Amino acid sequence: MSVLEKVRPGRPATAVAREPRVTDEHGRRVRAGELVWRYLLLLAVLALTVGPFLWQLSTSLKGPTEDIYGSPPRFLPGHPTLHNYARVADTIPVWDYALNSLKVAAANVVTNCAGSALAGYALARLRYRGRRVTTLVFVLAMLVPVEGIVIAQFTTMRELGLNNTLIGVVLPGAIGAMNVLLMRNAFRNLPYEIEEAAYVDGANVWQRFLRVALPSVKGTLAVVAIFAFMGAWDDFLWPLIVLSDPSKFTLTIGLNYLHGTFANDERLVAAGTVIAVAPLIALFACLQRYFFRGVGEGAVKG
Amino acid sequence: MAAPLRIKRQLPFGPWLFAAPGLLVTGAFVLYPFGSTLANSFTDRRTLVPGHFVGLANFRELLHDEMFWTGLRNSVLYILGVVPALVVLPLLLALLVRKNIPGITFFRSVFYTPVVASIVVVGLIWVWLLDERGLVNSLLESVGIGRIGFLSDQWLLLLSAMAVTVWKGLGYYMIIYMAALANVPRELHEAAAVDGAGPVRRFLSVTVPAVRSTMVLVAALSSVAAFKVFSEVYLMAGPSGGPAGEDTTLVMLVQRTGTGLTGRVGYACALSVVVFAVTVVLMLLVLRADRREES
């Protein structure tokens, strides 16, 4: 997704023109009038996108005596306080829930990276009877909508005695078929000659996989890792079905519980949602290009 | 170069060991549940009671179940409401953020933020915004329109949930469109401009045909996702699906019917089969529309 990564400076370093010169991606000048309405529209969309998040943040920082319902509304808290964050921790074990979410997300990253790299490598590089059938299995699995099988997944978990455990939350998505196919394509796009050279040098299949092939697909592996983390951290339907004991809740289920039980305390719910969304926004801010690359490579994820 | 070497120096069963974890998880938690969904849909299984074969009884019951028709109606309405918006608006947004003017990477990133946030967070943010006493109503009141019960009226609730789905999806499809727009030859635009075509005309007769296949892809992805909608409506309308359950969607019904200690697993699986069948039909319809337009 090179479109996103290449940023041309508005003013080329060589130009010493007095008037600031803004050029588009083809180096052609953008007229001032067009520039003005473009920025106006951008700011309007910006307000619509960020506004709701900021309003939530602002609500979470307003003290118990401050009016949050007033009309016209007050956008900034008069006396910002972290009191609501302490209160939300008194009401539900929000930090335990965050830890549960973190455990689930971390496990999901490890299993998806390891499992899909291994299987992807087998599908792309190893020759064995049944390779085509294996590929077909993953393609079919990718097409099955999760919403159509959650009930059966739940009964399967009960049969295994894993319902109401964090392992039960992780397992169904532990090695996504989609990720296996992504890794397979990444391995297939590597030039074969490098591995042949390693083979001639006497490297066995493990060494070729770990030392030669895997380091060359780090980018795709990063995409798999990030989407595995985000998918697990954000998931709602499956944990809602498989977890029933409030002490095992993940953050999303805990928030739903908080909302259902203390719906009238908007400051509290706001503080809870800020806790849930902040880590992901931070992650996104640091690793943007992998997020965008993930959309490009796996446009079928949604 | 010679044909790829035959790689012999490998452990016996080596390839299977590589594929085994993936196959195991996929088999046990996707393919087996899929098969068991089909099988259970012909039984009267409950959470704690192993079922008996009942033939097509579950499907016959569906036809007379008012809640099923409500769910189906809402899920279909969801497609009709959400898909056109998600095909068109992200394309316009992609055109807006396409030119590399100063600061544009910032705007692109921020427009993507709702995609990153959990649907639960997004749902709760909008529940508060659209609350009877929330920000939107405060603003509406201060401009003299008065307060609107977004979350108490059956239809307004569904519309609000759709708006939230669109709001959350914009950035995702924007990125898909940006990749497609990068491949539109610039000469086409210039030629059209020389011929005197205005921006609207150029959009309709140059841009749209050039990204048509991407629009079909977006329509396919968003319609399948819209039909399976659960979280937005669950959070905004509540677990019971709004006033008198009138906002229940099909997947909400699956969840409500099949879980808990008294869950009717067999019947929920029959509902799941319908969800699955409609999903397949939707994909086929969109693909067929694509092929017909091409020929």
ipTM: 0.87
Q: Is the pLDDT confidence value at A128 over 90?
A: no
Residue B67 lies in a domain: yes
A77/A95 same-domain check: no
Min distance B148 CA to chain A CA atoms (Å): 14
Whether residue B106 contacts residue A39, with contact meaning beta carbons closer than 8 Å, is answered with no
A115/A166 same-domain check: yes
Whether residue B223 contacts residue B78, with contact meaning beta carbons closer than 8 Å, is answered with no
Residue B186 lies in a domain: yes
Q: Is the dihedral of CA B231, B237, B242, B247 positive or negative?
A: negative
Kindly report the backbone phi and psi dihedral angles of residue A66, in degrees, each rounded to the nearest multiple of 5, phi listed first.
-80, 140
A181/A227 same-domain check: yes
Closest CA to A135 of A183, A195, A204, A206: A183
Distances (CA, A) of A131 to A24, A42, A122, B254: 48, 49, 8, 36
Min distance A71 CA to chain B CA atoms (Å): 5
Whether residue B117 contacts residue A284, with contact meaning beta carbons closer than 8 Å, is answered with no
Three-state SS at B53? strand
Of the residues A30, A46, A81, the one at which a domain ends: A81
Number of domains in chain A: 2
Q: What are the tens digits of pLDDT across the range B70-111?
A: 999 999 999 999 999 999 999 999 999 988 888 888 999 999
Q: What is the mean pLDDT of residues B199-205?
A: 84
Whether residue B148 contacts residue B156, with contact meaning beta carbons closer than 8 Å, is answered with yes
Among partner residues B131, B235, B275, which is closest to A148 by beta-carbon distance?
B275
Domain assignment of residue B87, given as a range: 57-294
Question: Contacts of residue A123 in chain B, CB cutoff 8 Å?
Answer: 19
Do residue A38 and residue B36 have CB atoms under 8 angstroms apart?
no
Mutate one of A147, A206, A267 to test the B interface: name it (highest B CB count within 10 A): A147
A170/A30 same-domain check: no
DSSP E strands in B172-216: the ranges are: none
A128/A51 same-domain check: no
Question: Contacts of residue A46 in chain B, CB cutoff 8 Å?
Answer: 107, 110-111
Distances (CA, A) of A8 to A3, A23, A285, A287, B6: 11, 9, 20, 20, 47
Q: Is the pLDDT confidence value at B11 over 70?
A: no
Domain assignment of residue A232, given as a range: 90-297
A58/A128 same-domain check: no
Residue B41 lies in a domain: no
A162/A259 same-domain check: yes
A32/A128 same-domain check: no
CA gyration radius, chain A: 25
CA atoms within 13 A on the CB side of A234: 23
Residue A293 lies in a domain: yes
Kindly report the backbone phi and psi dihedral angles of residue B144, in degrees, each rounded to the nearest multiple of 5, phi listed first.
90, 10
Q: What are the tens digits of pLDDT across the range A69-126?
A: 877 778 888 888 888 898 888 888 999 999 999 999 999 999 999 999 999 999 998 8
End-to-end CA distance of chain B: 40
A57/A99 same-domain check: no
Locate B46 and state its tokens.
């409950």
Residue A94: give its domain's CATH number. 1.10.3720.10
Range with top average pLDDT, A225-229, B180-184, B256-260: A225-229
Residue A203 lies in a domain: yes
Q: How many whole angstroms separate alpha carbon B26 and alpha carbon A60?
A: 42
Residue A302 lies in a domain: no
